[in-house]
Each structure stands twice: as structure tokens, then as C-alpha cells.
Structure 1
Amino acid sequence: MKPLRKIIFPAAGMGTRFLPATKASPKEMLTIVDKPLIQYGVEEALAAGMGQIIMITGRGKRAIEDHFDISAELEANLKKAGKSALYKEVSRVARMAEVIYLRQKEALGLGHAVLCADHWVGDEPFGVSLADELIISEKPAMQQLREVHEQTGCSVIGLIQVQASEVSKYGIVDYHAEESGLLRLTDMVEKPSVDEAPSRMAITGRYIFTPRLMGLLKEVVPGKGGEIQLTDAIAALAREEPVYGVLLEGQRFDAGNPEGFLLANSVLGLQHPEYGESLRLALKEHL
């Protein structure tokens, strides 16, 4: 089994739910407390041993590249001003990972965004992370998946349990539990009604795939708007080889919508070692 080194971050979306904030700034660069959303995802991937980052971007996403690039002038100014803590942090972010940037020229779905990295993935297993699904846990979410991948050599999908009223918002999986306790996925339905949903287990934005997924993405019949659905390729993969699900541990925030974004900032702000106590006192004063 080849080592798991690469991870894809689809980041070409327009972020329309956050307009006008995202008119000139990528959604992925909106901050959760004190760092951009995309940085949380990259740090999670690095903590899980995936050091080759493949960022799928589009127009207006240059700020992501700049964030993970070295700014010699900024670093020199911080150093000269004696702001050593800020200097170390800015320098760390710029040097934390090897990042490749690929452009998705047309918005043809999540499956198409992943397929854009086909050449760079080659015949190796790879991860996919949706940065706006923010998951904070003692054991990084991608590491939770990685452990099952290394145990089985198979594709692994991150799952969350949702209420019946929420199943129509997610891809919902059907599965059976093996004697080992692993959940083997047998089918998945994109945004079903409550009556059609095979379970209450929903796919969240963390994946590890065998190289076979790329071939199946090329065979997927495009749906509405010519979009290639990742869920369709995963369902086809599960018919060919084992695909497992992992019920992820940790705090999860859907930071891809304003309500979830505000919740993430509120909860993580209150938990922050530097800002938490003063924020708690300020909220008591204003509420």
C-alpha cells in the first residue's frame, strides 16, 4: 500500500452566502477567531501526516496563495519592530506546507474539483477536505480517517449523525457494521427526503480515497448544470471495493453558512486561552 501523503482542498466556490463580505475576499480567508478558515483545514491535514497540499482555486482566490507564501517585507518589518511572536507565527504559516495551486476554470461540481487534481494524485491514495466543515477535536478528523485507511487499505468517509429534520441537507449513507466494528458503506443518497433516507448518518467534508476514485469520476454522468457529483463516484466505488465510514469525534461547525460561521466564532472565541475570559465578560455586559 502506497503512503498517504496528498490531500485536496476544493476552494473554488464563490461564497455567495457570505456576500458582500466575499465580493473581494475568498470565503476560505474569513477568520474564525484569529486565523483563516482554510488554515484550520491545512493544519489538520499536516497533523495527520498529509504534507502535500493540493489547493483547487478559481478567480478571486489569490489571497489564499498569498497567505501560504513568504512575505519577506512583512517578516522583516515585524522582526525590526521587535514583534517576535507575530514574526514567528507569520513565518510558520508561510513555511508550514508544500502547496500546489490548480485552477478549476468552470464550476462543474465537487467531483469535478477533485478531478482537477487527477494528474497530481497519480496512483496514490489521497485525502479530500472541505475547509468550511470546521472540525475541532483532540485527534484531528483526518487522523481519525487515516487510522482506518491504514488498517484496511480502503477508502474512508467522515460521517456525522443528524436529526431527521436535517437529512435533506446532506448525502446520507446506508451501511452495515462488520464484526470488527467498522462501518462498511453500501449505498448513499444525495439530499433524500426523510422517508427515502436509508439512515441518519450523513457524509461530512472529510474523505480518504484509493486512486480508483479518479477513474470513476471520469465515468460519472454529469447531472443538473453539467455538474459531476462526488457522491455518485463514491457510490460506484462502494460497489467495486470496500468503502468505510467513520463517525467523527469532535466539535463540528458548518462554517460555510453565516449562522454556523458565527457559532464557530462564538464557541471557539469563548474557548480561546487569550481572548476567552474577556469575551465572556463583554458578552455578559452587552446581552
Structure 2
Amino acid sequence: MAKKVRKAVFPAAGLGTRFLPATKAIPKEMLSLVDKPIIQYGVEEAVAAGIEEIIIVTGRGKSAIEDHFDISYELDALLEARGKKALLELSRKVSSMAHIVSIRQKEAKGLGHAVLMAKDLVGDEPFAVILPDDVIDAKTSCIKQMMDVYDRVQSTVLATMEIEGPAISAYGVLDCTPSPEDKNILEARGMVEKPKLEDAPSKFAIIGRYILTPAIFDELETITPGAGGELQLTDGIKALLKSEKVYGFNFEGIRHDAGDKFGMLKATVEFALKREDLGPQFREYLKTLSL
């Protein structure tokens, strides 16, 4: 029987230098998008998709991430003593959200190396990779959409979106053809990391969601370091193409780049406007601005 996707890996060992000085002492994954750290959005997405285990790959100075998803006995006791039932429920909901384990990436050797750190925890089964910087607002969670595609193709699936113009140079780009059965499923022939616009093989950029087969670990253990002397996940996936098919998938939803200051600002506005408790008041405030 085909194995189902039960685990999701969250690479979270990066230094977050684009958000300095805030990230000098606070993990970038713990920066707040409205009133939740950005990594919580990804965990909620995974849980909504039926993921049973969250594996967070952390690094030095990242203990706040583990603490956030742990039980805070002192806080819960204080909230209960003060009759703050709604806040107590909120605190307990976070700590009981999912079965979460963590492992350290002791050296910053790239995204491929971070994924490789999770090998023993993942085992011999397909798994998801979620980059916390990419916050995706979707009716059906992006990872759930991708898991449904994986169930059909039984091979690696990469989340993709169409990027117009020079911005394509900031992404890994698929060399691909649409599937005859479903135009949103792309059959990959290869991929190019951050190409110039004129060299891009397509408009389909890879963004921070992956469903990978366990064969990726063998490739990550044998490839040589790429750009920046790091193990690149895209290099491992390219190597996979020699032994299995790889698919892109144009998901339904809106992707926010919360790893970028401007992207974080836009996401904050979009998510705040959608909130029932904040949206109406915030919308009226925005109307008063002289823009």
C-alpha cells in the first residue's frame, strides 16, 4: 500500500538577517503577523491537512520556537486564577496543536542540509517540507492540496506559482510541461536556480512547500555543495529526476512572503482586514490616511 504523508519538516535554523535588529534576539519565525508568530500559520496549515507530526529543525538561539508550542504552566495557572478563560483556551490550544519534535542544525549549511537533519525522524516515508517564511492564505490548506496531488502521482510534488517579469530571478524555476490530465500539475524536466529573466525555462517558480519522497535523503547525502557552499534542496530534487518523476503544482491561494519586510507589511494588512475583531476598525482607520 502507498504510504500517506504524516510528517512535516519546518526548517527554522536561519539567522533572519533581513529583519535585523529585531532578529538579533528573536527568531525570525517568531516575528508576529498580527498576533501569531509566522511559524504558527504553517503549523496550523499542516494540522488542517491532517499532518500528525511536526519536525522543527532549529539552531542556536531558537529555543523560543520550542517554548511557544510547549505547555506554559505558569502562564496557564495565572490566566486560570484571574478568570481569563478565553486567553487560557488560546494558550492551551497552541500547546496542544500537534505532536512537535525538534532537532538542531548545528551549522548553517543550507536548506538541503536542514532537510537532511530530519532523516532519522522522518524515516522511510513521504513527508512535507514547509518554509515558515511563506505564509499561504487558502480555503483548503496548500499542503492538503499538494497531498491530494501526491496521492494521485505518488511522487515528489513542489508548490509553484506563476511569476511575471524580472522577479522570476529570485526563485528556483521549473523546466516543465503541463499534465494533459490537469493543467495545474506540471511535469518537470529540470529546474534552474535564480535564472536571469531571459534564461528562465518557464514562468513557474518554486515556493516554500514540498512533498518529498524519502529518496531525497540519499540524494542529499551524495550531492556536492552548490551556491554559497551550501547543500541546496533544489540540487537534491534535480538529482531525483534521474530515478523518479517530479511534479510542480499550481495551488489555489495567496502566498505572502513573510521573509521580506515589505511582504510582511502586506501580509499584516491583508490578515488584519480579514479578522472579524479587527477588520472593520482597521479598515476605517486606513480610510483616514492621506496616501
TM-score range, shorter chain: over 0.9
**Amino acid across the alignment from 1:266:** V
State the match for 1:244 in structure 2: 247
Q: Secondary structure at the match of 2:80?
A: helix
Asked if the contact 1:173/1:203 (under 8 Å) is kept, the reply is yes
**Percentage of identical aligned residues:** 50
Distance 1:272 1:80 in 2: 29
Residues 153 and 14 from structure 1, CA distance in 2 versus in 1: closer, same or farther, beyond 3 angstroms? Answer: same
Match of 2:286 in 1: 283
**1-side partners of 2:180 and 2:289: how far apart?**
53
Residue 192 (structure 2) pairs with residue 210 (structure 1):
no
* Cα displacement string for residues 165-217 of structure 1 (whole angstroms, at most 9, x for unaligned residues): 11110000011123222321111000001111000000000000111011111
Cα distance between partner residues in 2 of 1:286 and 1:200: 36
Amino acid at match of 1:272: R
1:173 aligns with 2:177: no
Distance in 2, matches of 1:247 and 1:224, equals 26
**RMSD across aligned positions (CA):** 1.0
CA distance in 1 between counterparts of 2:245 and 2:143 reads: 19
Q: CA distance change for structure 1 residues 225 and 252 in 2, over 3 Å: closer, same or farther?
A: closer
- Determine the structure 2 residue equivalent to 1:63: 64
SS of residue matched to 1:240:
coil
Deviation for aligned residue 1:248:
1.6
2:191 is aligned with 1:188: yes
Amino acid at match of 2:246: V
Q: Is the 8 A contact 1:186 1:239 kept in 2?
A: no
Secondary structure, in 3 states, of the residue corresponding to 1:3?
Answer: coil
- Report deviation, 1:235: 1.1
Q: How does 1:109-188 map to 2 (within 5 A)?
A: 109-181=110-182, 182-188=185-191
Counterpart in the other structure of 2:84: 83
Deviation at 1:244, TM superposition (A): 1.1
1:125-166 Cα deviation digits (max 9, x unpaired): 010000111101001000110000011211110001101211
Which consecutive unaligned segments of at least 5 residues does structure 2 have? none
Partner of 2:234, secondary structure, is helix
**Higher mean C-alpha deviation, range 71-80 or range 201-210:** 71-80
Structure 2 Cα separation of the partners of residues 250 and 180 of structure 1: 21
> Which residue pairs with 1:222 in the alignment?
225
Q: What's the TM-score once normalised by structure 1's chain length? A: 0.98
Q: Between Structure 1 and Structure 2, how many residues are aligned?
A: 287
Distance 1:203 1:65, change over 3 A: same
TM-score by length of 2: 0.96
Shift of residue 238 of structure 1? Answer: 2.0
